[in-house]
Amino acid sequence: MKTKYALLTAALAFVFSLTVFGQATHKAKTKAVIKENEFTRVMGKPTYESKVDSIDTKVWVMTQAQHKRMMKGQMGLMMRRELEGLHRHPMMGRMSDSSMGMDMASRKAVMQGTHFIMLDVTNTLTGREIADASAKVQIVYPSKKTVSVDLKAMMSHFAGAMTLKEKGKCLFTINLNIGTGYKTMQFAYVVR
């Protein structure tokens, strides 16, 4: 009888130890899903990136030829789909493009000039784009001439057209007015 209990105890100890130690041998086959902003994925590597005070700022500067090619490709398709989805949303009714801040004059203005600038501002604490903000870019040319460009809010980012006539290193100063205050960033961009 004592051997019967001893064998039963040993067998149970063996079975329970297998279940405890067997769990460590399983390999997790799931991966964490990190969904990044689709605009930033299509745009590629930013010209300038900054993370200050829980605000992640990404800036892309490109020529208008590059911007037009992008708008004909995947980026334009994605923007058209997003607009169509908003137009069909039952809570939105039939919205006009002017209610989205994209009237025909704004569209033409974004396609003017020699270069295009896009600014994506995200709150790192919430992971959402900051919508209630305004942005302005001040450009200092190599000849020390200063030009200011107001960026327009478009969907989940800010964008604007600019004319960079002088070749060389330009200094960009971005003034971002967020509900909590002003943020200023500087970076250099070489016009070729």
Digitized pLDDT (tens) for each residue of the chain, 192 residues in all: 788 888 888 888 887 777 766 665 555 444 433 344 556 666 778 899 988 888 888 999 988 888 777 777 666 565 556 555 544 544 444 434 443 445 666 666 666 788 988 888 888 888 888 767 889 999 999 999 999 999 888 777 888 888 888 899 999 999 988 877 888 999 999 998
Any idea which architecture 38-191 has in CATH? Answer: Sandwich (2.60)
Q: Where are the alpha helices (DSSP H) in 33-183?
A: 38-43, 64-72, 74-88, 104-110
The answer to whether residues 76 and 84 touch, using CB atoms and an 8 Å cutoff, is no
Q: Which helix (H) or strand (E) holds 44?
A: none
Q: Greatest CA span in the chain, whole angstroms?
A: 100
Kindly report the length of the chain: 192
Residue 102: exposed, middle, or buried by beta-carbon count in 10 A (0-12, 13-18, 19+)?
middle
Kindly tell me the sign of the dihedral angle through the C-alpha atoms of 54, 36, 173, 110.
negative
CA 58 to chain centre: 7
The residues that bridge with 189 in the sheet, in sequence order, are 170
Domain spans of the chain, in order of start: 38-191
Six-digit token pair at 126?
């919430």
